[in-house]
Amino acid sequence: MRVFVLDASIAVKWFLSPKDEPLSAEALALYEEYLKAKVSFIVPDIFWAEVGSAFWKAIRLGRFQKASAQEAIASLAKCNLPTFSIAALLERAFLIATTFDRSVYDALYVALAMQSGAEVIIADERLANALAARLPVKWLGAR
């Protein structure tokens, strides 16, 4: 079974309206693979804060209802995604961030992928293009 470090932006696409979310079909196809146990996911603990923030922003923009966001968070929690502390990832993430001029937030996902022998699956094509040649990063649109 293939293991991916799941970027929060992809998990959010599972719940928000496809009309507002590029690559929603691809994100949902990945989720179907997860449900069929064809892939598994791991996440850094910052994933949960990023998901919450994305839903909060969608609520503020009128793209999501608060009750739906709460249901989505509960649904994600039921997935029991193996979650790793960012404290153990920070040194490597900082090195990645400063080497590739990327945010530490993004680099935490890459550091987890490197530590675990997995690939990060992301929806950000620019980030994927900047990192994929040298780091274990896969763009959702290239699946």
Spatial contact of 35 and 50, defined as CB atoms under 8 Å apart: no
What is the tens place of the pLDDT at every residue in 60-105?
A: 999 999 999 999 999 999 999 999 999 999 999 999 999 999 999 9
CATH number of the domain bearing residue 16: 3.40.50.1010
Q: How much is the pTM?
A: 0.94
Res. 20 pLDDT band, cuts 50 70 90: confident
Phi/psi at 11 (nearest 5 deg)?
-60, -35
As a 3-state breakdown, the chain gives helix, strand, coil percent values, each rounded to 5, of 60, 15, 25
pLDDT at residue number 48: 98
Phi/psi at 137 (nearest 5 deg)?
-125, 135
Q: How high is the mean pLDDT of the chain?
A: 96
Tally of domains in the chain:
1
What is the tens place of the pLDDT at every residue in 27-36?
A: 999 999 999 9
Spatial contact of 119 and 136, defined as CB atoms under 8 Å apart: yes
- Which range of residues forms the domain containing residue 8? 2-142
For residue 16, give Cα distances in angstroms to 2, 59, 117: 25, 10, 30
CA angle at 141 for the pair 123 and 17, rounded to the nearest 5°: 60
pLDDT at residue number 24: 95
Q: Is the pLDDT of residue 143 over 80?
A: no
